[in-house]
Amino acid sequence: MEQIFSSVYNEFCVLLDQRLDLNSLMLSTSRLLKSEISHYDWVGFYLLDAQNNQLVLGPYAGAATDHTHIPVGKGICGQVAASKQTKVVQDVAEQDNYLACSMDVQSEIVVPILKDGRFIAEIDIDSHAYAPFTTDDEQFLLAIAEKLAQLF
Ligand code: SME
Query: For residue range 70-109, what is the model confidence (pLDDT) as tens digits?
Result: 999 999 999 999 999 999 999 999 999 999 989 999 999 9
Full residue range of the structural domain in which residue 144 is found: 3-149
| Statement: residue 1 has pLDDT above 80 | no
Instruction: Name which of 75, 76, 77, 70 is nearest 53 in CA terms.
Output: 70
User: How many domains does the chain divide into?
Assistant: 1
Atom of ligand 1 nearest to the CA of 60: 7
Q: How far is the CA of 102 from the centre of ligand 1 (A)?
A: 9
Q: pLDDT value at position 2?
A: 86
Q: Is the CB of 75 under 6 A from ligand 1?
A: yes
Please choose from 40, 65, 101 the residue to mutate so as to test ligand 1's pocket, defined by most ligand atoms within 8 A of CB.
Answer: 101
Model pTM score: 0.97
Cα distance between residue 141 and residue 37, in whole Å: 12
Residue 115: which H helix or E strand, with range?
A: strand 107-115
In CATH, what number is assigned to the domain containing residue 40? 3.30.450.40
Is-contact 100 78, C-beta < 8 A? no
Ligand 1 pocket, residue 9 CB under 6 Å:
no
For ligand 1, atom 2: residue with the closest CA: 99
